[in-house]
Chains A and B, each alone.
Chain A
């Protein structure tokens, strides 16, 4: 499945850049300084708070480097055309001491199709570094991140994007809004989550990204953040995101999200709304694990049914990755967990646009594995 890209910034008029160059640079410098002050004050003002060590100092508890990966093979039938999508996304985690972590994810994928409608499937391998970041857990309330990181806008890009996590294999139509090209940013970020009340958790992310035009590491110059409230009792999370482009185009994007998992029933309800100068839209998804259905329990407890509805409202401004016209899409899916790390996925969707309606079918297999980058002892643990 091709990753959607948004190249909003590349479409600005050259005249705009030259006319505003001087003023823009001064404003950008001030904005950058304000961002730096914000980050530094966050760290130092919170410095007196304590951070308990994650590990007890015992060698048997010391974290080890880990190699993980999500892999899959998804076949998509879009308007009758078959696309084969092999994908592997290795994740490398290297903990350093008690407060540092280097983490990286790369994606290798292809979209194989038959250009003339017959003959063999052809396609190119696409490589991308999704994130390569250094995290420093400054205290219980602030984690600082530098490097290339997934843009914290909404919930899908950061949390639900991996092939083995997402319930439906198609991207939401509004995914490209607010995340920049390649869905990632390059710069610095402060983030964290903490309890502000016995029944309320607050989570936040605040970042600044620099422009990068390097092929597999491209990003926009932007600043933004996300704020979320999580209520552990009803398992309800809601929040909002904001992004301000700091290039020749100075547009804003904002969005809202929610996640609700009622404790009484195995249902996930998720949704996002996003708006930018290039368009706006929303998606709402519901997933239900059939493990409580008192019928054919041994088979149905591995089953999950999913439904998603989404709508996109196009803007007059062009975009590479967003739909060109108003679009509505409805999808129904069924997933079968062979094991907790191996899953069969399938879905049917119907897309309604002004031009033509289309059917979108997907079927595939997703797999995730985790392996320590250290020897194993005889008991199967990590030594």
Chain B
């Protein structure tokens, strides 16, 4: 019975942590992730006003890339964006990379 309770307790704790994280994410703005979420081509339309943000996002993406990918293996060279999209989805599952890290790394690797 204790095992069953633990199984149920785990997702409840997880969900609580998830909602807390979501609330924090909403509260923390502006954030590089929000810029990255707009896609790699967003900087072209935003013109010079977003140049600084674009640089920030790129640097943040590079930082996350080194922190996450190098945790297990030597950092690979860049791949074409469509390949990178698949690879990062694979690594998201394999290495439980956060959604935000996925977005920033994909943005950085797609430059």
Contact = CB atoms under 8 A, between A and B. Distances in A.
Place the interface of chain B in its size category. 35 or more
Given A42-B14, A372-B82, A381-B81, A193 B89 contact: no
A9 interface: no
A370 B103 CA distance: 21
Contacts of B103: 52, 54
Interface of B: 3-4, 7-8, 10-12, 14-15, 17-22, 24-25, 28, 37-41, 64, 67, 70-77, 79-83, 85-90, 92-103, 106, 110
Contact of A195 (B24, B70, B76, B80): B24
B12 A370 contact: no
A370 B24 contact: no
Interface string A134-171: 01010011110100000000000011100011000000
Contacts of A31: 3-4, 7
A204 B10 CA distance: 10
Contact of B10 (A38, A63, A140, A193): A38
A337 B74 CA distance: 9
A108 to B, nearest CB: 20
A145 B89 CA distance: 13
Contacts of B28: 198
A67 B11 CA distance: 34
18 contacts: A30-B4, A34-B7, A54-B85, A61-B82, A62-B82, A93-B89, A101-B89, A143-B93, A165-B72, A194-B98, A195-B100, A198-B28, A232-B67, A235-B67, A235-B71, A261-B67, A340-B76, A381-B80
A370 B83 contact: yes
B17 to A, nearest CB: 5
Residue among A41, A54, A64, A374 with the most chain B CB within 10 A?
A: A54
A46 B15 contact: yes
A35 B7 contact: yes
B41 A38 contact: no
Interface majority SS on A: helix, strand, loop or mixed? mixed
Interface string A38-78: 11011001100101101110101111111000000000000
B34 to A, nearest CB: 9
Contact of B90 (A103, A201, A223, A225): A103
Contacts of A42: 11, 14-15
A184 interface: no
A370 B109 CA distance: 15
Given A30-B4, A66-B87, 11 more contacts: A38-B10, A54-B103, A61-B110, A103-B90, A135-B89, A140-B99, A165-B73, A195-B24, A205-B96, A372-B80, A381-B81
Nearest to A43: B11
Contact of B7 (A38, A61, A101, A198): A38
A380 interface: yes
Contacts of B15: 41-42, 45-46
A326 B19 CA distance: 47
